[in-house]
Amino acid sequence: MNTILSKPIKKAITVTMLCFFTCTLSGCWGSKELSNMALVMAAGIDITEEDKVKVTIQVFIPRAASSQQQGAGPGTGGVESLVLVKSATGENMADAMVNLQKLFSRQIFWGHCDAFIFGEKFALKGHLNDQIDFINRHPQPRARGDLFISKGPASEILELVPALESYMGDVLQKSSELYIKKPITVKDFQLMTISDSKGGILPLLEISKPDQPEKATETITTFSGVAIFKEDKMVGSIKEDVTQGLLWIRNQNKLGAITTSAPDGRKISVHPLRQSTKLIPKIENGKWSVTVDVNVDGLLVQNGSNLDIMEESSSKQIETYLQHEMERDIEAAITEVRDGMGTDAFGIAESFHQKYPEEWEKVKDDWKYIFPQVTINMDIHLKVQEPGLMTKTLGTIKRGE
């Protein structure tokens, strides 16, 4: 008997099966109706004085969303908040979640959580992966949610009411896309901690309060640099100017303009249009070195100097000044992160592993001793491709050039 089915028969069977399964669908997610769920939009994890885990969640309020559709937008006076913020403590995240559930009449659902924030105190203690295990193991939380560190308690970040977006998870997700080329997810962070370098970074959040107490509602969250990790323990942090150098090396820079000073002290700024970084490792006569090869095409967005960007000699000068500024940022990052914290948060170990797999196998367990001795060179190429909407500066116009 020929057991090979013809195409029409296969098609008929497929259609029949689709019809059968369609008929069995009830229009809800299993036995859980959306109206019976408390949707988590963002979560904060802190450690208490009693060494307990404190979990704070932002939960979406459907009726508030309905009222906002009929009235003003988020962040305006008199409008009900879109989220409810609640906290509970426990021995770990799972235990804290059991206690959190007692505060809600609906089943807590993690499937929409976009952001997870760990407090700095918790991160400095280490063992973040112990709590991240809950995010990975529980069937609801999303490992692709973005991960952050807050300078103060993570719960305070979630208490803020954003002016432009609906809730803090949305603010953090959108802001991180402007701050770093590829936002760092829970999964990304775990891969960093088990990589060859065993070093990682996470965006560092800080609450920025207005000077006038009467404008307390204008309190916002800002990115103040990055937290540096050795495995899953935070070992320090760097400010935003040094962060720029670190992100150049990691090929993740998305921090606005590059600004430097001309010989007359006036400022010049270029906005990167295209950028790429390659780490080029080399082992020669037993000596290990790596070249940070950075290429940037930029748009001149401000020129306070008297240098004419349309003149080739002046253009070369401007590019040289900007390249030196990038070199200083990169050198500062190497000094603070490698020399100061003893951490390879740059991915240099991975570059040697990829190019010299046999040599790497011999030294991988001793990388923490070899890394401080690696010579780091820089090869930076910055080209101002566009002068902006003005080709002359006011200084050159006054001179009649």
Tell whether the torsion through CA atoms of 69, 70, 73 and 76 is positive or negative: negative
Residue 76, C-beta contacts closer than 8 angstroms, at least 6 positions apart: none
Is the pTM higher than 0.95? no
Q: Residue 400 has what pLDDT?
A: 54
* Measured CA distances, 307 to 319, 320, 352 (Å): 11, 13, 42
Dihedral of CA atoms 235, 242, 337, 172 in degrees, nearest 10, equals 40
What are the start-end ranges of the H helices in 180-212? 186-193
Neighbours of 214 (CB within 10 A): 7
Q: Are 262 and 242 in contact (CB under 8 A)?
A: no
Q: Are 293 and 280 in contact (CB under 8 A)?
A: yes
Q: Residue 153 has what pLDDT?
A: 96
**In a 3-state reduction of DSSP, which class is residue 102?**
coil
Widest CA span of the chain, in angstroms?
96
Backbone angles phi, psi at 96, to 5 degrees: -65, -35
Q: What 8-state DSSP symbol labels residue 339?
A: I
First to last CA, the chain: 92
CA separation for the pair 72, 53 (Å, rounded): 37
CA separation for the pair 230, 200 (Å, rounded): 7
Single out the residue of 89, 109, 4 nearest to residue 44, CA to CA. Answer: 89
* Measured CA distances, 95 to 89, 131, 290 (Å): 8, 11, 46
Backbone angles phi, psi at 329, to 5 degrees: -65, -45
Q: What angle do CA 266, 270, 275 make, to 5 degrees?
A: 150
Q: Residue 80 has what pLDDT?
A: 56
CA separation for the pair 300, 388 (Å, rounded): 6
Q: Which parts of the chain register pLDDT below 50?
A: 1-17, 19-31, 72, 75-79
Question: Which residue carries 């997810």 as its tokens?
Answer: 185
